[in-house]
Amino acid sequence: MIGPSITSLTEILPFVRYADDGTILSSGSMAKGHIEAERAETGRILQTSGRPDTHYIDLSGEEPRRRTKSSCPATLDGHTLRNLPIPCNVEVSVPLYDAPRVYRIASPADLTLSFEHPGSYRVRVISAPHTPGEFTVEMPGA
C-alpha cells in the first residue's frame, strides 16, 4: 500500500514540534498519518504530548524523547551569573528598550554583568532542558 492507511488518517494523536536544541515550538493533535508524514519530511515532530514551559525533547539518544524540564542551575552572586547551563541564552531586559538583548553562551564560564546606566535589569537564563532562571539585577545610581 502506498501512503497512509485510512486508520492512520482518522486516529487523532498528540504531537510536539521542536527545534534543533530540543525546545518545544508548538503542540497539538492531528491524524497519526500526518504526524508520520511530517516526521519523514522534517524530522522535527514527535508523537507525544508536551508543553513548552514544562517539557523539552531530549535529542541525546537514538530516538528523541520528551522529558520534564529541571530547574535552571544558574545562580546570581552579586552581579555574576554562575553555574550556567551550556549552551544557553542570557536575555537582559534593558530599561526603556522593548526587546531584551540576547547573549549566546556556548562554553562554560561565569558571566559578570555590568551596566552603563542605573536601573533595574531583568536577566533570564534560557536552556531547553531547564525552566528559565530569572533574576533581577539592581544597578544603583552614582
Q: Could you state, in order of their start, the residue ranges of all structural domains in the chain? A: 6-68, 75-139
Q: What angle do CA 88, 86, 78 make, to 5 degrees?
A: 75
Q: Which of 51-60, 113-122, 129-138 has the lowest mean pLDDT?
A: 113-122
Residue 41 buriedness (CB in 10 A; 0-12 / 13-18 / 19+): exposed
**Which pLDDT tens digit goes with each residue over 57-73?**
999 999 999 999 999 99
Can you give the pTM of this predicted structure? 0.81
**Which pLDDT tens digit goes with each residue over 2-57?**
555 555 567 899 999 999 999 999 999 999 999 999 999 999 999 999 999 999 99
Say yes or no to pLDDT of 142 above 70. no
